[in-house]
Amino acid sequence: MPNRRDPDIGRGHESDQIAAPAGVPSELSDLPWELPHTFLAMDEVSGALETAAGVILPVPYESTTSWGGGTRLGPRAIIEASRYIELYDQEFGCEPAAVLGINTLPALELTRAGATPAMVELRESYGRVASAVGERFLIMLGGEHSISSAAVLAQADRHEERLTVLQMDAHADLRGEYEGTPDSHASAMARVLDRADVVAVGVRGVSQEEVDVSNAHAGSTLIWADEMVDDDAWMDKAIDALGPKVYLTFDVDYFDPSFVPSTGTPEPGGGDWYRTLRFLKRVFAEREVVAADVVELAPTPGLNAPDFLVAKLVYKLVSYRYQGRLV
């Protein structure tokens, strides 16, 4: 990959150039075209689905947010911020994106007929996407957290072995329904408990109803945020509760608002960057993570740092999924 800060570097060396945008005649391929509007600005060659290890699926769905809105803008903000990430990762001593390849699919636009019809449509659509991409690592970008239930259920349909959902989140999302719908963002994990166990990490904002549901269900584990302050023993507790196959759902309000203020329901006292990465690297090394989603970024105009952090998190997830190929 050329240096993406300086359009002159790499020009004149065909092997270093980003592929021309689709539809551009070959005789114009050497012009200084903008970076592609794909995750990490992967061009048609480096981001080809046929050779990519990772696949990005944007789902800009928002219907049941209960305080701050804007999650429908999250996928686009993540992808735009990712275009400015330096691809080299000192943790692996290489550019993982260049080694692995990451494809970006167009966004799914779900029906506006209501939350339940939208989740029915997403479960069917996500299942077809998952089947088409096969063993590639599929990361869905939201959008509000309600979309995670449809993805988890679609993945559960694809695996004979019971999945465990690793939920990085400030909230338990175990309400039976919220504000009139069982397909609320506040009910996402309640919708999957019959088909998957749930290990929620970083929880610090719950209702009594949710605590009761978790206590009554052997497959529900809550790792409270204040357990994570003094030492890393919580990591062992969380990983021990995971089954062999894991679906990762990452609600960005897991992070302390000083890291990611751009979310609809921020809670003080959340996770930080490096400790979270240490945990995620262990999860990917010790379990099979079959797919993931990253949800609930609600971009703040003029404040780009949270968008960039979330984009870099997504890049890390792909890198950790294939860390054995990077060392």
What are the pLDDT digits (tens) for 141-187?
Answer: 998 888 999 999 999 999 999 999 999 999 999 997 777 777 677 88
**pLDDT attached to residue 33:** 86
What's the domain count of the chain?
1
Below-50 pLDDT ranges, the chain: 1-16
Domain extent for 140: 40-325
Q: Whole-angstrom Cα distance, residue 275 to residue 166? A: 16
Q: Is residue 30 part of a domain?
A: no
Q: Is residue 316 part of a domain?
A: yes
Residue 263: half-sphere exposure toward Cβ, Cα within 13 Å: 31
Q: Whole-angstrom Cα distance, residue 223 to residue 219? A: 13
Rounded to two decimals, the pTM is 0.92
Q: Is residue 4 part of a domain?
A: no
Q: Is residue 263 part of a domain?
A: yes
**pLDDT attached to residue 23:** 78
**pLDDT attached to residue 82:** 97
Question: How many other C-beta atoms lie within 10 A of the C-beta of residue 40?
Answer: 31
Among residues 168, 2, 146, which one has the least CA distance to residue 72?
Answer: 146
CA distances from 147 to 87, 150, 169 (A): 29, 6, 14
Q: Is residue 272 part of a domain?
A: yes
Q: Is residue 23 part of a domain?
A: no
Q: Is residue 51 part of a domain?
A: yes
Query: Which H or E run includes 271?
Result: none
**pLDDT attached to residue 18:** 65
Three-state secondary-structure class, residue 257: coil
Domain with residue 296: its CATH number is 3.40.800.10
